[in-house]
Structure 1
């Protein structure tokens, strides 16, 4: 009885403290009772329109767990990218993947923690209905976004592709007919941050054709310092490294250098046809992502402390600072295909066409798109460097991960508007994805063990691994809604998917051992070593998956302000190959054994049961939405770090396995409240209890099921407040502040010892902004503060088989000033 009362008290208190559903701005209710009505009585929350059912609907009577974040909150929160919007969604957390500026999104117990290019993320990102396939470019800029909807739970009917965790759907701003306008803003802030963004709307043909041009540039110096100290190096190092010691040059690392643009052409020849053609362009030349070595955090057999301290002896305290941001390290190598001085180079070119045909009895929609992404990603993974007297750096583990990716998508769907009790959404989805991948590595740590290569030291001889994948995903889907009465409706749907993949790969090897290329090469780019250019000893493996997924939901409008719903759904995540298969030539010349090892995982399946309510009360001053859920996962795809021995020393390779089942129970609450005119409180509360069932992997040294699920913090909450005060009739001040908490969560898991598991520490981040704006928002100046308490917190961390542990940290305290202007007029 005591435990039950405590739990009820905690739940009620948490809900009372959690004040925010879909973040929205306060707005005067349209239906005031009389001209003499008290202004306080006319204040209410505005309706939120979402498209989570592939048709416009009010959030408050949509029987799905969905959160919506509109452009007004995005502007006040001033996030760096969409990852920082996760604070406004319960049980949705965002980090980065270790060593990369890539999205690590997690939801309801499943998350992304690997950069493997063929690994399908459990949380999909769609931009204007196009599925962005690569996590490397999912951390989108927020300038041109009109609304973000986050669908929580498995998506197995309307949204391609299937996912087990959820989906983030982004709507960009569309051109406006007959409006000529300009929107621009510029920001300057800490660590040399400079950001310029602008959009122009141009009417070309009255009521028929309009153009929107959007562009932006971001530049920063980076908030890390190349300040790690080392030595003296001991053991079996080449003589010129023996005994060297010192500290690095303390220059800034991790700076941004990104150009991006979109051109959008809206064509509406009649009131029945709307076509939006877009071109996307990104050129990212940011610094390689810095690493901070944290070997001293681990002890015991197999802990990451063992190798770098006892054999290398390179990690020593920095006499200048114990701040991890001042203890990063990079070799800055430009040798053996390692191109650190050039930074990461990510180019994106995309063309998309969305067409809607109003047929009177419904809308027929076509979504077409082609996207080419070219990534060149160098990194000093160990976060540790030693420098010889002649200036040559010792690359413990430097690598360039490079890929070319071409994605084509076509979706056709029909959303009916029969005007009766029954409506349906049905259609088909097709996506084709071609990826080529190569990694070149300088494994200098192997020189320290007495090993060598046939072609010279490991520190100067690149070891290369290449593979490729062609994948197609096809699906047919339908979902219908039947209204028994105006208050009671049933929604049910299904999706049948065909996933087909072919993988080509060869064992890791040295360039002279590749054989004769089928076309001339320049040896300037690792992709020149593609498996299609050097076909000797290349094997191919196929995977074919067929899955039926579904969703059923019952919604009841119990009162005009209380909507109750229950949903059962199944989603899945396609099986995948591993781009690291073939590391260290583990299978020698046995190509059949290599082919068996390269086999894809089976699909991961999620069965979800949820129930909740959506409510408004106190004359629409308060909105409270609560969902409870139970999700069962089976055949969880785990990227397991398997220990191996190379040249007598510990190493690892990453293996994909359907190793586990899991159960996640949780509660999600969102609320908004207008306490008085101009003052809005918002809050988010997420709780999840995530536990493994079966979890077995070859070579495990402990009960793996005792570990927490990857990227699954137990608690998450955000409290946000906005206060708008008019200054005369021409100006206003808007103050916004929030506190966002994310609990401790597992980043990567070792299978030999729990000492090797890495965690992202719990943190509470404080952010604020204050804006002086013209009353109609024509121009403004905004002061921005992020991480005001200057927390040091991990956003990615990885243990490499007890050899080293490297970590990335979130940005420190940031102060910035932003000015903006918005002008437009009807023609």
Structure 2
């Protein structure tokens, strides 16, 4: 079935290219001769789709001129759609998925390339960058999306342009920088069901004759929990998060700028609301559990907790030289994370096997980057740099088993891990115009990762998930050369065609819960991805319609897969080979004044070509956590009410096809397809500075499994948040 579908998608792209040619002919007849000569954009229609400026290639340029598949969320969309964290980004981005168990440790996958490894010696395959700073630990992804300029989701291997290399893709979060030209401030207060209380605000203050500015942002978000623990008679799965950011920006001279940022997040919550979702009839222990699929309640013997504290400093210096811009970027981040939770979601009256545990982690992440980039307006665009990243992680994985089937007393197993990663890289990228309409793109990167790893289970009562007690140290170095090469074709000012080949690399690692000393000393190998991509980006009808299409093919080798064994132990192996191919399309239209609609769709065909899973052939299976189809549709209508008053009605619809939570593709670890609907009604322009909005998320109260895993006789898992709704009052002072 995959072949015909790909052919259909190829046909769609061919039609788009044909439309681009037609559009070229039409515009050639209507635009001024000088504009036709230098390929400059003509004045857009007053109701045109707004042009989006991105920095995906380390320079500010229109999204429509970037030969990369990028999904972008602007500041207004982030605010109106209540995009607050990484989970909101994922649900709205075709081709992007994630697994969060618990929610404070999100694990991303882009176009089927992701990693479930949270161990101290593992790395994410798809990563998050906060103002170009790599957040290398899952629990470090703790930003709040208030006072954000935009969020860019880049798909495919990255690394020839900046920072840390990633094999699958990245989410770039770009905060609003201090503004030296005007005083600016805003504040919002929200109240909703489940006692939702949000308060956010920022202030921007210029100083020193408008050569510098300071900007302070803060956010507090809380609710009292989406589920009730019937045993303890208290609510769980709650939120209590406080985030802050202070930025200082200065321009001592016309050629020199300095930007310094301090940010932090304090996150407190109970443990996730766990459930026994299904029984494993092949395991005699299945008789010990009571199935509980009610997402509104849980019955765990204790509420648990998730505690996360992150702190970071960032400094950037930009110096405009005669031949280039020199950028020096440095950062340090500290993470303190602790969690405990009742994994089976039951108590002695419901489950005869009590499973609990959690993690404790302290990490320090630091990076330094020096790069030279071509000056603005240069005919040849280029960047070259050096990058260094160091990560030190101490992590404990805690597993507690209380059942008479195993021992007369509760038993605890603890894996203590200490890992150091030292990574260096040199990179460069260049775009060279060959003619007025054709440019060639090339980039390369050399990366070297050195890892030292110590792991032991000496504090365990017994080796519950292993074979012996041990404490060992291992080290390994991996390096690789990655690249991208492509062609950029501009047949007309509003149309772009491109082709790109890019190679990504992620270094190897070590087991976080090895079964033996030998297992601990044996590393798993690096994984690589070679992506072939062709795309088209076009604007039609004076910019009222923007339509972008992409076809891609990925040769994915030695992918690192993480499998849960029947005894509860977890092992990361190299699966062999996989092929991922797909089609993505994004359409934005303004067909008549006041009305706008955006739609995006991704088809992802991700299959293992070779995968020996402990003697079981998984070849042909779908890669876990990868939906074949994902669709988002977002219509909105704005009605002027006189003066500054405007009323906007908007909605978001999201569809995702079924997902396999495990590479075995066997039930019960299968999530059915889902439909989600959000909506909002916004009255803006009240007394010039105020706006009022009514909003609702998951209005159909869709309850889907967001995580599930089978071991010790049952499938355990969690559900997504229920229907939520509320009201937001916002105030804004714009001094510009």
Using structure 1 for the length normalisation, give the TM-score: 0.81
> What residue number does 1:744 align with?
658
Structure (1 or 2) with the larger CA radius of gyration: 1
State the Cα distance separating 1:490 from its structure 2 match.
0.3
Confirm or deny that 1:726 pairs with 2:682: no
State the Cα distance separating 1:511 from its structure 2 match.
7.2
Confirm or deny that 1:804 pairs with 2:714: yes
Contact 2:657 2:673 in 1 (8 A): yes
State the Cα distance separating 1:437 from its structure 2 match.
0.9
Distance 1:672 1:745 in 2: 28
Question: Which residue of 318, 325, 330 maps to 2:295?
Answer: 325
Confirm or deny that 1:396 pairs with 2:396: no
State the Cα distance separating 1:111 from its structure 2 match.
2.3
> What residue number does 1:517 align with?
none
Contact 2:677 2:698 in 1 (8 A): yes
> What residue number does 1:59 align with?
63
User: How do 1:11-50 and structure 2 match up within 5 A?
Assistant: 42-50=46-54
Contact 1:351 1:371 in 2 (8 A): yes
Gap change, CA 1:419 and 1:683, over 3 Å in 2: closer
Distance 2:8 2:399 in 1: 55
> What residue number does 2:321 align with?
359
> What residue number does 2:537 align with?
614
User: How do 1:505-516 and structure 2 match up within 5 A?
Assistant: 505-510=455-460
SS across alignment from 2:557: strand
Question: Which residue of 254, 260, 264 maps to 1:271?
Answer: 254
Q: What are the Cα deviations for residues 581-625 of structure 1, in whole angstroms up to 9, with x where unaligned?
A: 25xxxx4xxxxxx14543221111000001011101111110100
> What residue number does 2:290 align with?
315
Distance 1:218 1:418 in 2: 40
State the Cα distance separating 1:119 from its structure 2 match.
2.5
Which residues of structure 1 form unaligned runs of 5+? Answer: 17-30, 33-38, 228-247, 318-322, 334-339, 514-535, 588-593, 644-650
Contact 2:121 2:512 in 1 (8 A): yes
Question: Which residue of 597, 600, 609 maps to 1:681?
Answer: 597
Confirm or deny that 1:782 pairs with 2:698: no
> What residue number does 1:631 align with?
554
SS across alignment from 2:178: coil
Q: What are the Cα deviations for residues 245-264 of structure 1, in whole angstroms up to 9, with x where unaligned?
A: xxx24431111011111111
Gap change, CA 1:48 and 1:5, over 3 Å in 2: closer
State the Cα distance separating 1:441 from its structure 2 match.
3.2
Confirm or deny that 1:143 pairs with 2:146: yes
Distance 1:105 1:156 in 2: 17
> What residue number does 1:759 align with?
670
> What residue number does 2:340 align with?
378
Which residues of structure 2 form unaligned runs of 5+? Answer: 17-30, 33-42, 464-468
Distance 2:599 2:257 in 1: 37
> What residue number does 2:475 align with?
542
Distance 1:757 1:394 in 2: 21
Q: What are the Cα deviations for residues 368-422 of structure 1, in whole angstroms up to 9, with x where unaligned?
A: 000000000111112222259xxxx977121131010000101111111386643
Contact 1:217 1:259 in 2 (8 A): yes
Distance 1:781 1:761 in 2: 36
> What residue number does 2:25 align with?
none
Distance 2:14 2:139 in 1: 35
Distance 1:97 1:577 in 2: 21
How many positions carry a matched residue from both structures? 707
State the Cα distance separating 1:118 from its structure 2 match.
3.2
Distance 2:158 2:663 in 1: 27
Q: What are the Cα deviations for residues 700-757 of structure 1, in whole angstroms up to 9, with x where unaligned?
A: 3xx322431011110011111121111111211111112111111122345xxx6466
Confirm or deny that 1:822 pairs with 2:736: no
Distance 2:584 2:155 in 1: 10
> What residue number does 2:407 align with?
451
Question: Which residue of 214, 219, 237 maps to 1:254?
Answer: 237
Distance 2:232 2:454 in 1: 42
Distance 1:9 1:159 in 2: 32
> What residue number does 1:527 align with?
none
Confirm or deny that 1:415 pairs with 2:373: yes
SS across alignment from 1:443: strand
State the Cα distance separating 1:450 from its structure 2 match.
4.6
> What residue number does 2:488 align with?
555
Gap change, CA 1:600 and 1:225, over 3 Å in 2: same
Gap change, CA 1:158 and 1:329, over 3 Å in 2: farther
Q: What are the Cα deviations for residues 193-246 of structure 1, in whole angstroms up to 9, with x where unaligned?
A: 11111111122322232111111111111111224xxxxxxxxxxxxxxxxxxx
> What residue number does 1:602 align with?
525
Contact 1:109 1:690 in 2 (8 A): yes
User: How do 1:188-203 and structure 2 match up within 5 A?
Assistant: 188-203=191-206
Distance 2:524 2:210 in 1: 52
Gap change, CA 1:106 and 1:439, over 3 Å in 2: closer
Contact 1:664 1:688 in 2 (8 A): yes
> What residue number does 1:406 align with?
364
Gap change, CA 1:761 and 1:271, over 3 Å in 2: farther
Contact 2:361 2:394 in 1 (8 A): yes
Confirm or deny that 1:288 pairs with 2:271: yes
Confirm or deny that 1:794 pairs with 2:705: yes
State the Cα distance separating 1:783 from its structure 2 match.
0.4
Distance 2:274 2:509 in 1: 28
Distance 2:453 2:501 in 1: 35
Using structure 2 for the length normalisation, give the TM-score: 0.91
> What residue number does 1:518 align with?
none
SS across alignment from 1:45: coil
Q: What are the Cα deviations for residues 131-185 of structure 1, in whole angstroms up to 9, with x where unaligned?
A: 0112223253211211011111111412432222111111001111143232110
Distance 2:690 2:131 in 1: 28
> What residue number does 1:516 align with?
none
Distance 2:377 2:330 in 1: 29
Contact 1:541 1:595 in 2 (8 A): no
Gap change, CA 1:779 and 1:117, over 3 Å in 2: farther
Distance 1:221 1:450 in 2: 37
State the Cα distance separating 1:508 from its structure 2 match.
4.8
Confirm or deny that 1:572 pairs with 2:482: no
Contact 1:616 1:623 in 2 (8 A): yes
User: How do 1:341-360 and structure 2 match up within 5 A?
Assistant: 343-360=305-322
Contact 1:103 1:137 in 2 (8 A): no
Confirm or deny that 1:472 pairs with 2:416: no
Distance 2:674 2:376 in 1: 50
Deviates more, 1:741-750 or 1:397-406: 741-750
Distance 1:612 1:160 in 2: 25
Distance 1:166 1:328 in 2: 36
> What residue number does 2:454 align with?
504
Distance 1:153 1:776 in 2: 46
Distance 2:539 2:269 in 1: 46
SS across alignment from 1:73: helix
Question: Which residue of 143, 159, 163 maps to 1:160?
Answer: 163
Gap change, CA 1:705 and 1:301, over 3 Å in 2: farther
> What residue number does 2:174 align with?
171
State the Cα distance separating 1:699 from its structure 2 match.
4.6
Gap change, CA 1:491 and 1:40, over 3 Å in 2: closer
RMSD of Structure 2 on Structure 1 (CA): 2.8
Contact 1:746 1:757 in 2 (8 A): no
